[in-house]
Amino acid sequence: MTAGHLKKKEASILSAPSRIRLWGEFLLLYVVAPLVMAAVLPPMWMFPVLFVVTICGLVLLQGTRGFHWADLLQGRQVLREHRTWRVLVMFAAVTELVSFLVVMATNPDALFGLLRHRPGLMAMIIVLYPVLSALPQEILFRVLFFRRYGVLLPGPHLAIVINALLFALAHLMYWSWVVTILTFAGGMVFAWAYEMRRSFALALLLHSIAGWILFVFGMGIYFYAGNVVRPF
């Protein structure tokens, strides 16, 4: 039985109170919390609140029926496939091209800024970004999203689009059209890797590669809370 059939079967036996509770959690996590962070909280509160939201997501995931943390290791064999490495190379090349064009069009002085001026910080980002940023985001937006709330969502293709939209909404706090477009596009790719290729490892690696390239090319200026300017 496929994952889609399993989700349909689970959805058909989900009680009304359970469905309402799940919808409440879903809306609080993926809609209300991002809007509050973007529109209400001071910029310096954003990351502490994100930390709290992430912890709540981990608790919910722990309580999700049928989920085991060892499940995160499933699908790692995908990384050994030749076609996967073609996808990784193509993804990296497109991300590099887009990053270069955006930086040159919006802030040329920022190109390779960290490499030129703060190479130590860039090295720290290379080491820590996968663990401190990509990993919690992928657990919250891919694993929790699809494993706990997949029964509420339509077919996998539309669910991936919804996931990408909500991933972009989570970055609304930066109030940047660049960030919104990039996170939507990235969200589509990461969700595809997790849901269609059934590989958390691939989603995490793609997310890490995207983060490394963005910071190397100087796009970190758009993901810095100190630069946030609300339009109101």
Average pLDDT, the chain: 92
Helix axis angle for 177-191 and 82-106, nearest 10°, is 180
- 2 pLDDT more than 70: no
User: Which amino acid, one-letter code, is at 21?
Assistant: R
Q: How confident is the model at residue 13 (pLDDT cuts 50, 70, 90)?
A: low
- 9 pLDDT more than 80: no
In tens, the pLDDT along 195-218 reads: 999 999 999 999 999 999 999 999
- Return the structure tokens found at 215: 């910071």
Rounded distance, CA 196 to CA 120, Å?
Answer: 37
What pTM was computed for the model? 0.92
- pLDDT for 4: 53
Dihedral angle of Cα 11, 17, 18, 24, to the nearest 10 degrees: 110
Q: From residue 178, how far is each of 101, 106, 185, 214, 220 by CA, in Å?
A: 12, 10, 11, 12, 11
- 3 pLDDT more than 90: no
In tens, the pLDDT along 145-188 reads: 999 999 999 889 999 999 999 999 999 999 999 999 999 999 99
- pLDDT for 1: 42
In tens, the pLDDT along 23-37 reads: 999 999 999 999 999
- pLDDT for 15: 77
Cβ–Cβ under 8 Å, residues 112 and 218: yes
Cβ–Cβ under 8 Å, residues 217 and 112: yes
Q: How confident is the model at residue 232 (pLDDT cuts 50, 70, 90)?
A: confident
- 7 pLDDT more than 80: no
DSSP 228: -
In tens, the pLDDT along 112-150 reads: 999 999 999 999 999 999 999 999 999 999 999 999 999
